[in-house]
Structure 1
Amino acid sequence: MTAARLVPCPACKQPAPYAPENRWRPFCSERCRSLDLGAWASESYRVAAAAPPDAGDDTPNPPTSH
């Protein structure tokens, strides 16, 4: 049987076995898994996105009178 591959825990960076025996994989413990879930739930993690266009950009320009 081969040894489980060790990966850094996403929360605390400690080595954690990446194997079916580790029920919290890729985390090292239930605590780290819960902390990560809490960060997602509180929207601490953000994905960068482009700023939306201004509302005025989509409206046609009013005709100008000379």
Structure 2
Amino acid sequence: MSAPKIKCPTCTRVIEYSDQYPHRPFCSERCKLIDLGEWASEKHKIEGNSIYDDLLSDDLEQPD
């Protein structure tokens, strides 16, 4: 049975999802590091409320 084919999230190169590509789902370490840099520079974000908004919310019960 053949390994499934996927696109690298960074460069969109089609690769097999197998041990041949140890950085999967990325095609290379370079693409993996580019993606990490984009997360670190906040070019990628997960939408939602900040945890700080929840922690500082007036909606939380106040201790007695």
Normalising by the smaller structure, the TM-score range is 0.5 to 0.7
Separation in 2, partners of 1:40, 1:50: 17
**Unpaired stretches in structure 2, ≥5 consecutive residues:** 59-64
**Identity across matched positions, percent:** 40
Alignment of 1:1-66 (within 5 A): 2-50=1-49, 58=58
Per the normalisation by structure 2, the TM-score is 0.65
Per the normalisation by structure 1, the TM-score is 0.64
CA contact (8 A) 1:4 1:17 kept: yes
CA contact (8 A) 1:17 1:26 kept: no
What whole-Å deviation, never above 9, does each CA across 1:15-66 have from its counterpart, x for those lacking one? 01111221110111111111001111111111222596xxxxx5xxxxxxxx
**Unpaired stretches in structure 1, ≥5 consecutive residues:** 53-57, 59-66
RMSD of equivalent CA atoms: 2.4
